[in-house]
Amino acid sequence: MDQISALAASGLRARMQSLDLVANNIANSATSGYKGDSEFYTLFTSEAANEDAQNPPSTLPMIERPWTDFSQGLLEPTNNQTDLGLSGKAFFVVQGPSGPLYTRNGSFQMSPGGMLVTPEGYPVLQEGGASFQVDHTQPLEVSLDGSVKQRGQSLGQLQLVDFEDTSILAKQGSNYFRNAGSRPPISASGVQVYQGKVEASNVGAAQGAVRLVTLMRQFEMMQKAISISNDMGRQSIEEVAKV
């Protein structure tokens, strides 16, 4: 494969990966607490290219790794007493099937079994790691500092954590994150909990549509580059054949 086609093919592959990220962002633009994904681009130089002394090494564009934007989303009122929105850098902690999971989606509910849980049924944890034992027939009161009360009695304090390096968080699905690193979370500070509100996604459908159009145009340009390169190669072969 000639150099032009190789560069364009590498660019096509990178843009296809970007399209997957953008499509997922658009699909979750209305998901509470969702954090958008983007990508880091880099240039790859093969060892074989470096060993070729006759020609300069070729570099190919590629995506080094995706990254997640943890910026704050808007708090939208729901008037649901078990909906909780975070203002500040923090995560709710829930007990997943294989350990603690972290989320910004505060769309919780009271289970018939007497616990505060996520829509998937994961218990919401309080300071110390215990779950909240609640009476689903009684209203819930949540203060700005995360303390939870029912009928004037304290049920505990929401466990709110943060990470010094959020790059160690890996998406688990259903808007959860798991700690993929070795450093444990730290207690969150300067965060407020708003009852009756949820945090909206920090990506918008319009923003995603603009990004999608840009990627499609880049995709078409690289396809055209490969087509032109193929035509040039064919013409070269025809000229050699005439000689």
CA distances from 17 to 82, 121, 231 (A): 37, 32, 27
Q: What gap in Å lies between CA 228 and CA 77, rounded to an integer? A: 54
Structure confidence at residue 109 (pLDDT): 95
Q: What is the pTM of this model?
A: 0.80
The C-alpha atoms of residue 227 and residue 238 are separated, in whole angstroms, by 17
The reported pLDDT for the residue numbered 57 is: 61
Residue from 99, 85, 98, 96 nearest 160 by CA: 85
What torsion do the CA atoms of 75, 80, 84, 88 make, to the nearest 10 degrees?
20
- Give the residue carrying structure tokens 């000639």: 2
Cβ-count burial of 242 within 10 angstroms (0-12 exposed, 13-18 middle, 19+ buried)? exposed
Confidence check: pLDDT of 127 > 80 = yes
Interval 10-60: pLDDT, tens: 778 888 888 888 989 999 999 999 999 988 766 666 555 445 555 566 676
Q: What is the pLDDT of residues 152-178, one digit of tens each?
A: 999 999 999 999 999 999 998 889 999
| Domain boundaries defined on the chain | 3-69+203-242, 75-199
Q: Which residue has the higher pLDDT, 110 or 42?
A: 110
> Residue 92 above 90 pLDDT?
yes
With a pLDDT cut of 70, the percent of the chain lying above it is 87
pLDDT in tens, 136-154: 889 999 999 999 999 999 9
What is the model's pLDDT at position 54? 58
Contact criterion met (CB below 8 Å) for 31 and 49: no
Q: Report the run of H or E that residue 222 belongs to, with start and end.
A: helix 205-242
- Cα–Cα distance list, 101 to 139, 144, 188, 211 (Å): 26, 22, 15, 30
